[in-house]
């Protein structure tokens, strides 16, 4: 289990005894604390440390609680502030709320009263933080969906003209003698059009929905078949292919066409990532009712700031990449109730997990 860091609270009060009482109480209840004697000192703490919450007295020398509230709210709007006021300080307490304090508590207060207010405030902060993440995620998804459908539309429109250009260049090629400059031009056109065609295929593929047609397939046969299609390219580049399969006869429920596509994207990526010679290894293992595949390649590791973005649609570091291979792979694998992730390994390793059986099998 991952432990979330303890919330950090700054206690501000000019009475040392009271400060210590609060920091001890909060410390005993799982909060990290610091203490300051007045508003100005508190502002210095805020500059150095990240706090979730400040618990501040109102009446203090040098800089009082209200003045501190105004300065800190304008500079650090996400830090919540709870003000403590003596009996009769209702007027300033109300003013504090107007200037953005989360709440106020009246001195003297009980331990439970203080803890409950602090807990409520931290909880509110946690919820608004989660809400913000969910909203950002939603906005991102909507933007991606719009981008996805726009590119698919464009790709569909481009398909026909591209095919015509391809056919024309192939026709022209036959009209010129070999090594003729004009034939080379036709060849160059053909090559570029094929790149564009591959891109349009990725765009269309990304925007479609996946309803796998499950059939029991020998998974190692599927892997081998796709490995065959990349074998000559691998050999030319000096890449060795290593395989270590569990039970070779193992059958897994999957949509063969879709999974071939996934393995194709992953092997392409692995070979492209190595640039020169290296090793592409495919390892399978049976774990209870799942099959686990490790597809790895040697070569320089993926920089840590990029690791999180690999599966984002349109994320690519390649000049001719679409950044859709991994996004499509993840969607296909999820449509099989499986998962794919980048494993922590010295090589680049993608770990795929697939259920061996599927209820919706034909
Ligand atoms: N095996 C790998 N090794 C290193 N980087 C990889 C590997 N697979 C994917 N990546 C990185 O993830 C990016 C996205 O991959 P992908 O979705 O297949 O799109 P594309 O291949 O078109 O760039 C790649 O551009 C590359 O930076
Ligand atoms: Mg790719």
347 with 219, same domain? yes
Residue 116 lies in a domain: no
Mutate to test the pocket of ligand 1, among 199, 265, 310, 343 (most ligand atoms within 8 A of CB): 310
Per-position DSSP letters for 82-108, written without gaps between them: EEEEETT-HHHHHHHHHTT-SEEEEES
Residue matched to tokens 């694998």:
333
CB of 273 within 6 A of ligand 1: the answer is yes
164 with 285, same domain? no
255 with 348, same domain? yes
Q: Which helix (H) or strand (E) holds 62?
A: none
For residue range 245-284, what is the model confidence (pLDDT) as tens digits?
A: 998 899 999 999 999 999 999 999 999 999 899 999 999 9
Task: Tell me the CA end-to-end span of the chain in Å, nearest whole number.
Answer: 39
Q: Tell which phi-psi region holds residue 30, choosing left (phi > 0), alpha (psi between -120 and 50) or beta.
A: left
222 with 195, same domain? no
Residue 252 lies in a domain: yes
Residue 128 lies in a domain: no
Q: Is the pLDDT of residue 88 over 90?
A: no
- Pairwise pLDDT comparison (283 vs 320), residue with the higher score: 283
57 with 171, same domain? no
Dist. CA 188 → ligand 1 center (Å):
26
Residue 271 lies in a domain: yes
Residue 114 lies in a domain: no
CB of 281 within 6 A of ligand 1: the answer is no
Nearest-angstrom CA–CA distance, 135 and 44: 33
Nearest-angstrom CA–CA distance, 232 and 234: 5
Q: Please, how many CA atoms are within 13 Å of residue 336, restricted to the half-sphere of its CB?
A: 29
Mutate to test the pocket of ligand 1, among 316, 327, 333, 343 (most ligand atoms within 8 A of CB): 316
Residue 129 lies in a domain: no
Nearest-angstrom CA–CA distance, 170 and 325: 28
67 with 89, same domain? yes
- Pair of tokens at residue 238: 């000096």
Q: Which helix (H) or strand (E) holds 249?
A: none
For residue range 27-86, what is the model confidence (pLDDT) as tens digits?
A: 999 999 999 999 999 999 999 999 999 999 988 888 888 899 999 989 998 899 999 987
230 with 332, same domain? yes
Mutate to test the pocket of ligand 1, among 262, 270, 326 (most ligand atoms within 8 A of CB): 326
Atom 7 of ligand 1: nearest residue by CA position: 269
Residue 167 lies in a domain: yes
Reduce the DSSP state of residue 9 to 3 states and report it: strand
- pTM here is 0.68
Reduce the DSSP state of residue 34 to 3 states and report it: strand
Angle 345-137-132 from CA coordinates, rounded to 5°:
115
Atom 1 of ligand 1: nearest residue by CA position: 270
Residue matched to tokens 């709007």:
77
Q: What is the CATH number of the domain that holds 311?
A: 3.30.565.10
- DSSP code of residue 301: P
Dist. CA 176 → ligand 1 center (Å):
39
201 with 229, same domain? no
CB of 198 within 6 A of ligand 1: the answer is no
Dist. CA 204 → ligand 2 center (Å):
15
81 with 174, same domain? no
Nearest-angstrom CA–CA distance, 307 and 20: 45
Least confident of 29-33, 107-111, 165-169: 107-111
Nearest-angstrom CA–CA distance, 126 and 138: 18
In ligand 1, which atom is closest to the CA atom of 326?
Answer: 17
Question: Could you tell me the CA-to-CA distances from 4 to 7, 8, 74, 193 in Å, in that order?
Answer: 9, 12, 28, 52
89 with 69, same domain? yes
**How much is the CA Rg of the chain, to the nearest whole Å?**
31
Handedness of CA 277, 330, 282, 223 (dihedral sign): negative
Least confident of 3-7, 37-41, 173-177, 334-338: 3-7
Range of the domain at 203: 140-207
Domain boundary among 86, 109, 132: 109
For residue range 121-130, what is the model confidence (pLDDT) as tens digits?
A: 999 988 988 9
Total residue length of the chain: 362
- Pairwise pLDDT comparison (308 vs 228), residue with the higher score: 228
Atom 4 of ligand 1: nearest residue by CA position: 273
Handedness of CA 259, 265, 266, 268 (dihedral sign): positive
- DSSP code of residue 348: E
Nearest-angstrom CA–CA distance, 45 and 31: 16
238 with 348, same domain? yes
Q: How many domains does the chain have?
A: 3
pLDDT at 280: 97
Atom 11 of ligand 1: nearest residue by CA position: 310
User: Measuring CA to CA, which residue among 82, 86, 40 is closest to residue 59?
Assistant: 86
Q: What is the CATH number of the domain that holds 14?
A: 3.40.50.2300
CB of 317 within 6 A of ligand 1: the answer is yes
102 with 194, same domain? no
Nearest-angstrom CA–CA distance, 189 and 199: 16
């Amino acid at each position: 289990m991952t432990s979330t860091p303890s919330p950090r609270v700054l206690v501000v009060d000019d009475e040392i005894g009271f400060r210590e009482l609060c920091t001890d109480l909060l410390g005993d209840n799982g909060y990290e604390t610091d203490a300051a004697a007045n508003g100005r000192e508190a502002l210095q703490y805020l500059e150095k440390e990240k706090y979730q919450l400040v618990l501040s007295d109102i009446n203090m020398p040098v800089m009082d609680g209200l003045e501190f509230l105004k300065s800190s709210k304008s500079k650090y709007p996400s830090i919540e502030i709870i003000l403590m006021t003596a009996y009769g300080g209702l007027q300033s307490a109300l003013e504090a709320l107007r200037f953005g304090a989360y709440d106020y508590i009246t001195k003297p207060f009980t331990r439970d009263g203080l803890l409950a207010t602090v807990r409520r405030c931290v909880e509110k902060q946690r919820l608004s933080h989660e809400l913000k993440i969910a909203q950002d995620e939603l906005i991102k998804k909507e933007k991606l969906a719009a981008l996805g459908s726009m590119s698919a539309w464009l790709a569909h429109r481009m398909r026909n003209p591209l095919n015509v250009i391809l056919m024309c260049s192939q026709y022209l090629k036959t009209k010129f003698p070999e090594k003729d400059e004009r034939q080379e031009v036709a060849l160059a056109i053909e090559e570029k059009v094929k790149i564009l065609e591959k891109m349009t295929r990725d765009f269309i593929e990304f925007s479609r929905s996946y309803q796998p047609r499950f059939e029991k397939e020998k998974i190692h046969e599927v892997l081998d078949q796709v490995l065959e299609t990349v074998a000559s390219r691998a050999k030319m580049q000096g890449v060795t292919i290593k395989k270590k399969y569990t039970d070779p006869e193992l059958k897994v429920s999957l949509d063969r066409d879709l999974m071939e596509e996934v393995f194709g994207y992953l092997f392409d990526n692995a070979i492209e990532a190595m640039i020169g010679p290296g090793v592409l290894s495919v390892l399978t293992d049976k774990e209870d009712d799942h099959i686990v595949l490790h597809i790895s390649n040697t070569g320089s590791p993926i920089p840590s700031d990029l690791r999180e973005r690999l599966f984002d649609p349109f994320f690519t570091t390649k000049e001719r990449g679409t950044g859709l291979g991994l996004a499509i792979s993840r969607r296909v694998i999820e449509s099989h109730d499986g998962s794919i992730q980048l494993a922590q390994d010295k090589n680049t390793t993608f770990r795929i997990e697939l259920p061996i059986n599927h209820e919706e099998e034909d």
